[in-house]
């Protein structure tokens, strides 16, 4: 390759908002319902039904807009985007074209190449479509409208990104911001966050953008990175061969590591947008915006800075803990009860992460309370239980959120501090293991480990290993 | 009639609206659409300088609902409106992208 190319990327990110009900009707947004059990005349597009905006959707959209430095459109409306497809029962999607709720924002991202801003062109509110299932037997399609009318915001970036790293950093930034706001859980795998990548290439130094393609079906950060590399190479190959890039929508197949052009609908994309007469204009006064602004949480960057100042824990721990709002809240609440930050951090970083991974869970799924974690830490601090018992108790606490004090009491797991009883057990162990005793006396220091182990076993794990060690040395 | 609708235009509008028109219907639609556009042109003669575009006839704003589930399962009722039903879903002609 003789020429140097630059990749130009803009993103359209759809985020499913964490409301209890749909955007325009009182149907539940809960996952997993039987097909069409969360539907009503509004979200199935029955004639004569009247959509009414869910106020929480507006509040979330404004909160995300403020957090991403957007100008909020204080006179805002909904429009109809007209197209025929069976997953869209009204034959139009209610969306926003002319007056989207947020405009002209930006977020700062950081990659190895440094810090930069990515512009946000606009954020608009819209409704999700239903789900189509293809029935091979009867040669027909089946539609489930449970997702129809689930609230979405679409965040449209400026074409400001130049690499896969920047795209991932931007998505991470959006995800963290939105998760911290509680506006969505933003899970790519589950589709509550979906990113379409608009990508073009141009020769380094060129002023004009090249022809772009839009890539869909990207379900993980890894798939996004691979799709960007793949599409960049495909477009370069075309140009090097003297061919042209077609403006089209392509679908990424992450298993094959390649994309293909989606069957373009025969008619042109002519959506004939017009204002939705069923939905009245939204007029937001400054007081409303201030109210939302006042509710903005401490975001990740501020939190990281504060942790560095307030807590004596490693930077890596800070990064992991603040990487999830749930984890950060849990950490702060446990510390607030009085536990030592380093100890709280250790339980989160080691045992919690291990169990999350083993159970294929996200930090958001953590069930144990800060009170119980604080109790567990205090049980180990006072040496009421030893560290291996603590781990056992933690596992139970992790799955069932048991009160560790009660659990330890009920199961009789407290360390035996009765020195007399312990001394007696040690004496028995010494009597029963003459070989190890000889080994130790002949200078094999390691042999004592075996004797400690035997004593712990005899005590059913309920002894303080330090104390066992001490008594053993004394008696030997 | 000032606005003459071409065959291409009526064909395109027909595709967008998913309508198949007979030759007679097509001629009638061309006439109807032409006169509609004439009417719009007539409205266009008005001086609207400084007048804000209007999307709603009544001065109503900010009508919201609270985020509370109010609908129960009404699948049976809803599916009565379906062209066909199978496994609790709407049956439609085979569609895929």
Could you give the CA distance from residue A454 to residue A151 in angstroms, rounded to a whole number? 61
Confidence of residue B58 (pLDDT cuts 50, 70, 90): confident
Query: Closest Cα partner for A19 from A146, A173, A185?
Result: A185
The helix (run of H) or strand (run of E) holding residue A392 is helix A387-400
> Are the CB atoms for A199 and A215 separated by under 8 Å?
yes
Inter-chain residue contact B68 with A39, CB threshold 8 Å: no
Residues pairing with A106 in the sheet: A119
Please list every residue in chain A whose beta carbon sits closer than 8 Å to the beta carbon of residue B56: 275, 277, 280-281
Q: Which segments of A268-370 are extended strands (E)?
A: 274-275, 282-283
pLDDT in tens, A44-102: 999 999 999 999 999 999 999 999 999 999 999 999 999 888 999 999 999 999 999 99
Instruction: Output the pLDDT for position A50.
Output: 96
The helix (run of H) or strand (run of E) holding residue A196 is strand A193-203
First to last CA, chain B: 41
ipTM of the complex: 0.88
Could you give the CA distance from residue A464 to residue A469 in angstroms, rounded to a whole number? 9
State which residue of chain A sits closest to B65, comparing Cα positions.
A54
Could you give the CA distance from residue A51 to residue A30 in angstroms, rounded to a whole number? 19
State which residue of chain B sits closest to A22, comparing Cα positions.
B67
Instruction: Output the pLDDT for position A470.
Output: 79
Structural domain boundaries in chain B = 7-44
pLDDT < 70: residue spans in chain A: 1-2, 263-268, 417-418
Residue bearing tokens 């085979």:
B94
Inter-chain residue contact B88 with A36, CB threshold 8 Å: yes
DSSP for residue B51: P
Question: What is the C-alpha R_g of chain B?
Answer: 22
Domain at B7-44: CATH architecture: Orthogonal Bundle (1.10)
Q: What is the DSSP string of B30-82?
A: HHHHHHHHHHHHHHHTS--TTPPP-S-SS-----EE-S-------HHHHHTTS
Please list every residue in chain A whose beta carbon sits closer than 8 Å to the beta carbon of residue B80: none
Question: What is the C-alpha R_g of chain A?
Answer: 30
Helix, strand, or coil (residue B41) = helix
**In the structure encoding, which two tokens stand for residue B14, read together?**
């027909």
Instruction: Output the pLDDT for position A394.
Output: 94
Name which of B19, B64, B85 to mutate to probe chain A: the one with the most chain A Cβ atoms within 10 A of its Cβ: B64
**Residue B58 Cα distances to A100, A139, B54, B55, angstroms:** 21, 47, 10, 9
Going from the N-terminus, what domains does chain A have, and what CATH number goes with each?
A: 5-288 (no CATH), 298-411 (no CATH), 419-475 (1.10.10.410)
Instruction: Output the pLDDT for position B24.
Output: 95
**In the structure encoding, which two tokens stand for residue A157, read together?**
């970036």
Instruction: Output the pLDDT for position A417.
Output: 67
Query: Closest Cα partner for B61 from A49, A283, A441, A229?
Result: A283
Could you give the CA distance from residue A455 to residue B94 in angstroms, rounded to a whole number? 72
User: Taking CB atoms and an 8 Å cut-off, how many pairs form between chains A and B?
Assistant: 135
């Amino acid at each position: 390759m003789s020429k140097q190319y630059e990749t130009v990327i803009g993103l359209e990110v759809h985020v499913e908002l964490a409301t209890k009900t749909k955007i325009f009707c009182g149907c539940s947004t809960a996952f997993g319902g039987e097909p069409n059990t969360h539907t009503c005349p509004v979200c199935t597009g029955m004639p004569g039904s009247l959509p009414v905006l869910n106020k929480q959707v507006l509040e979330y959209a404004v909160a995300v807009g403020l957090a991403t430095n957007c100008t909020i459109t204080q006179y805002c409306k909904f429009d109809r985007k007209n197209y025929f497809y069976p997953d869209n029962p009204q034959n139009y999607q209610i969306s926003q074209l002319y007056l989207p709720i947020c405009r002209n924002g930006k977020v700062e991202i950081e990659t190895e190449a440094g810090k930069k801003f990515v512009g946000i062109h606009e954020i608009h509110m819209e409704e999700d479509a239903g789900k189509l299932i293809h029935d091979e037997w009867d040669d027909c399609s089946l539609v489930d409208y449970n997702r129809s009318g689930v609230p979405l915001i679409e965040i449209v970036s400026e074409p400001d990104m130049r690499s896969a790293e920047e795209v991932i950093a931007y998505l991470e930034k959006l995800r963290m911001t939105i998760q911290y706001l509680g506006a969505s859980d933003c899970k790519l795998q589950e589709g509550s966050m979906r990113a379409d990548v608009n990508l073009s290439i141009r020769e380094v130094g060129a002023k004009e953008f090249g022809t772009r393609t839009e890539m869909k079906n990207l379900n993980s950060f890894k798939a996004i990175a691979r799709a960007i590399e793949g599409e960049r190479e495909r477009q370069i190959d075309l140009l090097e061969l003297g061919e042209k890039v077609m403006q089209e929508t392509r679908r990424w197949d992450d298993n094959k590591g390649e994309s293909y052009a989606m069957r373009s609908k025969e008619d042109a994309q002519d959506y004939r947008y017009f204002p939705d007469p069923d939905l009245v204009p939204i007029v937001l006064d400054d007081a409303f915006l201030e109210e939302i602004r006042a509710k903005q949480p401490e975001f990740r960057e501020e939190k990281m800075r504060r942790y560095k100042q307030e807590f004596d824990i490693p930077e890596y721990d800070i990064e992991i803990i603040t990487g999830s709002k749930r984890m950060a809240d849990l950490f702060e609440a446990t510390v607030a009860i009085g536990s030592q930050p380093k100890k709280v951090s250790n339980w989160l970083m080691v045992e919690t992460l291990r169990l999350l991974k083993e159970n294929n869970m996200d930090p958001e799924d953590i069930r144990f309370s800060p009170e119980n974690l604080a109790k567990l830490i205090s049980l180990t601090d006072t040496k009421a239980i030893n560290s291996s018992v603590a781990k056992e108790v933690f596992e139970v606490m992790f799955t069932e959120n048991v009160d560790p004090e009660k659990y330890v009491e009920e199961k009789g797991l407290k360390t035996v501090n009765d020195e007399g009883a312990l001394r007696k057990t040690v004496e028995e162990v010494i009597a029963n293991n003459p070989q190890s005793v000889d080994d130790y006396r002949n200078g094999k220091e390691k042999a004592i480990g075996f004797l400690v182990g035997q004593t712990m076993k005899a005590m059913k794990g309920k002894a303080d290993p330090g104390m066992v060690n001490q008594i053993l040395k004394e008696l030997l | 009639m000032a606005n003459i609708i071409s065959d291409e235009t009526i064909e395109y509008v027909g595709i967008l609206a998913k309508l198949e028109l007979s030759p007679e219907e097509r001629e009638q639609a061309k006439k109807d659409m032409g006169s509609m556009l004439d009417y719009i042109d007539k409205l266009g003669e008005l001086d609207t300088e400084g007048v804000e575009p209007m999307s709603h006839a009544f001065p109503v704003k900010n009508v919201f609902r609270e985020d509370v589930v109010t609908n129960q399962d009404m699948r049976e009722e809803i599916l009565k409106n379906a062209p066909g039903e199978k496994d609790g879903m709407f049956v439609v002609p085979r569609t895929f992208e």
